[in-house]
Amino acid sequence: MKKIGFIGLGNMGSKMVTHLLKSNYEVVGYDINQEYIDQLSPNGLKKANNLNDVSKGTDIIITMLPNGDIVEEALDNIIDRLKPGTLITDCSTIDVNKAKELHKKCKVKNLFFLDAPVSGGVGGAENGTLTFMVGGDENAYKMMLPLFGVMGQKSLLCGTYGSGQATKACNNMLLATTMIGVGEAFNLGTNLGLDPKKLFEILSTSTGSCWAVNNYCPIAGVGPKSPADKSFEPGFSASLMYKDLSIALKAINDTNTLAPFGIKAQENFRQMVNDKKGDLDFSAITKFNE
């Protein structure tokens, strides 16, 4: 049985670790917030007092952290202490170029590295239904595959280094733009006197059908339960969507890609965050575009 180190035990990481522990993996975890460690210790998590403890004898290290700079800082603290062949899997959402830099750092030290951001939010982490978008070496991916299967429902090796982050940027840009479009469609329907429940029945089964309508409808009392039914209590906050769209915007600029809708979506979420609404679920953007 491989020994796993896990760095970052917040809303996402804690639930991912719980699935690993339930599957009887040996996990040593670290977070700057001691309370997160204490909450998981009764479930079998071994406590790491610092990052050095995570690096001792571990075969695989998983990181789930807020941004690329923090991921790099954590890696720099442990990289010289890891045994050759150790696999580091970063499940954070970070800049594509930063992911490529971390791959190179690990390769020099004879370490494996996968960039493997997730889709599914806190609910997906809790239910074990995450999707992992993976970039890196095929052998490293095969090494990680059993753990992806424990923490999520689907994983896909998207390509070489940075491909996981690139895929995540594309996915979330599309999600943001479709959610805005869904909100506009319902607003128009309301102004035309339509019953939103009946409009949902049509949109969810016609050519306008999409995940934002079918699974995450931003109208309270319409469709499956969603954050709209809980005053937009976040499953995935507007602040996180803004961060992800900013990563996408950098990629847009770096590649000279024509993406006016993606750029506009980033502007809309930036305004929502500036208006102190970033703690709401990202689907609340439909209310601030009215």
DSSP string for 222-257: SSS--GGGGTT--SSBHHHHHHHHHHHHHHHHHHT-
pLDDT bucket at 1, cuts 50 / 70 / 90? low
Residue 168 annotated in active site = yes
Give me the residue label for tokens 């020099």: 108
Ranges for all domains in the chain classified under CATH 1.10.1040.10: 166-288
Q: What is the pTM for the complete model shown?
A: 0.93
Res 121: pLDDT: 87
CATH topology of domain 3-160: Rossmann fold (3.40.50)
Q: Which CATH architecture has domain 166-288?
A: Orthogonal Bundle (1.10)
Residue 12 — very low, low, confident or very high, per pLDDT cuts 50/70/90?
Answer: very high
Q: Does pLDDT of 214 surpass 70? A: yes
- Which pLDDT does position 239 carry in this prediction? 95
- Tell me the pLDDT band of 289, cut-offs 50, 70 and 90: low
Q: Average pLDDT of 6-20?
A: 96
CATH 3.40.50.720 residue window(s) in the chain: 3-160
Per-residue pLDDT at 285 exceeds 80: yes
- Of 15, 168, 243, 277, which one is the catalytic site residue? 168
Contacts of 281 (CB under 8 A, 6+ apart): 227, 228, 232, 233, 234, 235, 236, 237, 238
pLDDT-based confidence at residue 181 (cuts at 50, 70, 90): very high
Q: Is 290 a residue whose pLDDT tops 60? A: no
The two tokens of residue 151 are 């923490």
Each residue's pLDDT tens digit, 29-59: 999 999 999 999 999 999 999 999 999 889 9
Kindly report the average pLDDT of the chain as a whole number: 95
